[in-house]
A and B are shown apart, each in its own frame.
Chain A
Amino acid sequence: MTQEHSTEGVRADVLVVDDDADILAVTRMVLEGSGYSVRTATNGQEALALLQRGLDVSVILLDLMMPIADGWWFRSQIDRRSRFADVPIVVLSGARLTEEQVETLHVRGYLRKPVDLTELLTTVDVFCHPAPH
């Protein structure tokens, strides 16, 4: 659980949003083990609060089915706040989504649980170390 009063000027490579404590823990461990800095939130509301307090991240890994504020809600809130509109979101969910459902979420990627570690690292890498044009 993230309890910071202010994240102004705080930077992290990845923000992981998931209600499952084990997934948060192990994702954080593998990402940190691969050299990324990680922040976590257990639902959409918490994640939004982190961003509003000034957290700057390269990519958000977003679960969809979560209590209090689900991924769809979080996505709609981000859409309403133009200053966060550029933050890339990758959905990381066990839910079976159709192509249209993914499209309506307007996200940069969709990884299906159980995600392969290499796939996860490759995806995160794309946003944390963008290839020079």
Chain B
Amino acid sequence: MDNVKYFLFIAAGLGVINATVAALVWKQSKTPYHRTLFLVWIFGIMSLIVQAFVRSPRWMITAHGATVFAMNLMLADLVRRVLDLRAPWRAHLWLFAMSFVASQSASLAKAPFWVQALPLSLGTALPLLDLLWRSLRHSWRRSSATVRCTLFAVALMAAHNIDYAFLRSDPRFTIAGFVAAILGVFALSITAPAIILERTARDNARLHETAQRAFAARDEFLMVASHELRTPLASLRLAIQGLRSGALSASPEKLAPLLRLAERQTDKMARLMEAMLSFSFTRPDARHEELRPTSTDLVMVVRKVVDSFRDELVQTGSTVLVEGPPVALGAWDRSDIEQVVVHMLSNAIKFGEGKTIELSVEQRSGSTTCCVRDHGIGIPADRLPYVFDRFERAVSARQYGGLGLGLFIVRSIVEAHGGHVRVASVVGAGTRICVELPNSGVMA
């Protein structure tokens, strides 16, 4: 083939078809990086056209190098976007840049042509092969026909680059590789918009689904919060109105249990308010700044909390066995640690089906562990990883109510102290929840 025609063919091929890639990249993002690539690519195309008339092999390397450099970077960028791959684009950029510099240096040193071409080909082929490898590894099974078509295009691009380096002795191979590359880019330019659209649609569907879930969670929270706050008020109000109207006798022996009821319900309200106001809307890590650590005896806190639950324990029929050393001191926020025990114990009572609850405290040199074990309904294995999340519940809100904050509060406080939480459970056999607190607490 006549040289002018040959180079014009290359310039036209790269110019017309790769313009599509450039346009797609351009449309996708207009960052300085992409603008620069675009300019380099235009420079390369112009150089190729000049090359058709000047016919200097060194100019050929520069021109072709610049074009391939810019185009492959744009292509790699597009492929990354299309396949939504987390590829190390900086590493790719360096590889491209180094190969370009190496080939230009070889060209200046008047090295044999294959020495000039080899780094450029490898530098451009390797990132493409890397993208190909990543997409094959991550998403081949769930990729659609369009994505597979894109991968095919990438493979052709890589093949062309390798062919350019190793088989260039026969110009027919170069032409074949070049045609393959053009076909690849052409396929990509056809499939890319469809893939991007497809992904946008998928993203939209996912956003829609997330929003729907958030709405449902909000509705459920409102229903449950309403139920939780109204329940203690209900018995209080009936007791007060009953006493005032005379439906309830105000004799001392009848009044005493009503007063205990009132105290229980106000305690419950106070706990709910605390849970809702402190934990519904704050970040868990924000808790750290609010801690007021003092020398706290965990065993004393445990006994105090168990005592405060005596009425609930009588009502449900559960008994609590406390096991531990006489004292377990640590630098913890006393009221926060009390909340931890309150929520662990109230869960055990709520889900314990009236069976014995074991509460243990164990202190070692660096840390203190507190475990609450019930023999109640248990937590299904698939819910276990989520029980410490906010607004999570392992059981239906219709049956067990609760704000879904208890174990989230436990985790927030324990983690703010630098400790951690553990849970083990068997459906129908019970649950064991442990918290481990460093003895130095937040002072560390």
Task: Determine if A30 and B248 form an interchain contact, defined as CB atoms under 8 angstroms apart.
Answer: yes
Task: Determine if B398 and A64 form an interchain contact, defined as CB atoms under 8 angstroms apart.
Answer: yes
Which residues in A have their C-beta under 8 angstroms from that of B224? 65
Check: A114 CB closer than 8 A to any chain B CB.
yes
Q: Closest B-chain residue to A97, C-beta based?
A: B223
Check: A131 CB closer than 8 A to any chain B CB.
no
Measured in the bound complex, the distance between the Cα atoms of B153 and A110 in whole Å is 66
Check: A29 CB closer than 8 A to any chain B CB.
yes
Task: Determine if A25 and B261 form an interchain contact, defined as CB atoms under 8 angstroms apart.
Answer: yes
Task: Determine if B223 and A96 form an interchain contact, defined as CB atoms under 8 angstroms apart.
Answer: yes
Task: Determine if B261 and A66 form an interchain contact, defined as CB atoms under 8 angstroms apart.
Answer: no
Measured in the bound complex, the distance between the Cα atoms of B265 and A25 in whole Å is 13
Measured in the bound complex, the distance between the Cα atoms of B224 and A65 in whole Å is 9
Check: B384 CB closer than 8 A to any chain A CB.
no
* Binary contact track A89-125/B, C-beta < 8 Å → 1, others 0: 0000111100000000000000011111110110000
Which residues in A have their C-beta under 8 angstroms from that of B231? 20, 23, 94, 113
Check: B399 CB closer than 8 A to any chain A CB.
yes
B431 smallest CB distance to A (angstroms): 15
Task: Determine if A33 and B230 form an interchain contact, defined as CB atoms under 8 angstroms apart.
Answer: no
Q: Closest B-chain residue to A21, C-beta based?
A: B315
Q: Closest A-chain residue to B398, C-beta based?
A: A70
- State which of A29, A72, A96 has its C-beta within 8 Å of the C-beta of B226: A96
B236 smallest CB distance to A (angstroms): 7
Task: Determine if B226 and A95 form an interchain contact, defined as CB atoms under 8 angstroms apart.
Answer: yes
Residues of A within 8 A of B (CB-CB), count:
31
Task: Determine if B238 and A30 form an interchain contact, defined as CB atoms under 8 angstroms apart.
Answer: yes
Task: Determine if B398 and A65 form an interchain contact, defined as CB atoms under 8 angstroms apart.
Answer: yes
B222, B242, B258 interface centre (most CB from chain A within 10 Å)? B242
Check: A3 CB closer than 8 A to any chain B CB.
no
Measured in the bound complex, the distance between the Cα atoms of B182 and A53 in whole Å is 83
Which residues in A have their C-beta under 8 angstroms from that of B315? 21-22
Given A30-B248, A33-B247, A95-B223, are A67 and B242 neighbors across the interface (CB < 8 Å)? no
Which residues in B have their C-beta under 8 angstroms from that of A117? 237-238, 241-242, 245, 247
Residues of B within 8 A of A (CB-CB), count:
35
Q: Closest A-chain residue to B397, C-beta based?
A: A65
Task: Determine if A114 and B234 form an interchain contact, defined as CB atoms under 8 angstroms apart.
Answer: yes
Task: Determine if A114 and B249 form an interchain contact, defined as CB atoms under 8 angstroms apart.
Answer: no
Which residues in A have their C-beta under 8 angstroms from that of B238? 23, 26-27, 30, 114-115, 117, 120
Measured in the bound complex, the distance between the Cα atoms of B178 and A12 in whole Å is 93
* Binary contact track A12-36/B, C-beta < 8 Å → 1, others 0: 0000000011110111011001100
Measured in the bound complex, the distance between the Cα atoms of B311 and A20 in whole Å is 12
Check: B149 CB closer than 8 A to any chain A CB.
no
Given A22-B265, A23-B235, A94-B229, are A33 and B248 neighbors across the interface (CB < 8 Å)? yes
Q: Closest A-chain residue to B400, C-beta based?
A: A67
Check: B233 CB closer than 8 A to any chain A CB.
yes
Task: Determine if A112 and B230 form an interchain contact, defined as CB atoms under 8 angstroms apart.
Answer: yes
Task: Determine if A33 and B242 form an interchain contact, defined as CB atoms under 8 angstroms apart.
Answer: yes
Task: Determine if A34 and B235 form an interchain contact, defined as CB atoms under 8 angstroms apart.
Answer: no
Measured in the bound complex, the distance between the Cα atoms of B222 and A91 in whole Å is 19
Task: Determine if B400 and A113 form an interchain contact, defined as CB atoms under 8 angstroms apart.
Answer: no
* Binary contact track A66-91/B, C-beta < 8 Å → 1, others 0: 11101010000000000000000000
Check: B239 CB closer than 8 A to any chain A CB.
yes
Q: Closest B-chain residue to A71, C-beta based?
A: B398
Measured in the bound complex, the distance between the Cα atoms of B397 and A70 in whole Å is 10
Check: B389 CB closer than 8 A to any chain A CB.
no
Task: Determine if B261 and A22 form an interchain contact, defined as CB atoms under 8 angstroms apart.
Answer: yes
* Binary contact track A40-71/B, C-beta < 8 Å → 1, others 0: 00000000000000000000000011111010
Measured in the bound complex, the distance between the Cα atoms of B246 and A33 in whole Å is 8
* Binary contact track B380-411/A, C-beta < 8 Å → 1, others 0: 00000000000000001111110000000000
Measured in the bound complex, the distance between the Cα atoms of B315 and A100 in whole Å is 35
Which residues in A have their C-beta under 8 angstroms from that of B235? 20, 22-23, 25-27
Given A20-B231, A96-B226, A114-B236, are A65 and B399 neighbors across the interface (CB < 8 Å)? yes
Which residues of A are in contact with B by a Cβ distance under 8 Å?
A: 20-23, 25-27, 29-30, 33-34, 64-68, 70, 72, 93-96, 112-118, 120-121
Q: List 14 A-B contacts (CB under 8 A).
A: A25-B257, A25-B261, A33-B247, A33-B248, A34-B247, A65-B398, A67-B399, A67-B400, A95-B226, A112-B230, A114-B238, A116-B237, A117-B237, A118-B245
Closest 5 CB pairs of A and B: A94-B230, A117-B241, A113-B234, A33-B247, A114-B233
